[in-house]
Structure 1
Amino acid sequence: MKKVLLLVAIVCFSVTAKAQENVDVYTADAENLVKIVSESAFTPVIDQFSGMVAEDKKEALIADIKATFPELYSAMAKIYMEEFTHSEIKEILAFYATPIGKKLAEKTGDLSKKGMIAGQAWGMKLQGIIQKYQ
Structure 2
Amino acid sequence: MKKVLFISMFLCAFIMQAQDDANFKAETIKFLKKTVTEDTFINAVAQIGATVPEAKKAAFVKEAKGTLGGLYDKMADMYMKEFTPAEIAQLNKFYDSELGKKLSTKQVQLTQKGMQLGQNWGMEVQQIAQKYATN
TM superposition score category, shorter chain reference: 0.7 to 0.9
2:99 & 2:40 partners in 1: Cα distance? Answer: 20
Gaps of 5+ in 1: none
2:46 & 2:17 partners in 1: Cα distance? Answer: 42
Q: Which of 51, 54, 62 is equivalent to 1:53?
A: 51
Alignment TM-score, normalising by the size of structure 2: 0.78
Q: Deviations over 1:6-63 (max 9, x none)?
A: 2222222111111110011111111222222222683596287158437836655554
1:15-94 alignment to 2 at 5 Å? 15-39=13-37, 42=40, 46=44, 49=47, 52-53=50-51, 56=54, 61-94=60-93
Superposition RMSD on alpha carbons, in Å? Answer: 2.7
Contact preservation (8 Å) 2:32, 2:72 = yes
Contact preservation (8 Å) 2:28, 2:80 = yes
Q: Is the partner of 1:133 in helix, strand or coil?
A: helix
2:17 & 2:52 partners in 1: Cα distance? Answer: 49
Count of aligned pairs: 132
* Percent identical residues: 31
Q: Which of 7, 10, 14 is equivalent to 2:8?
A: 10
Q: Deviations over 1:59-105 (max 9, x none)?
A: 55554443332222222212211111101110111100111111111
Alignment TM-score, normalising by the size of structure 1: 0.79
- In the TM superposition, structure 1's runs of 4+ consecutive aligned residues that sit over 6 Å from their partners are none
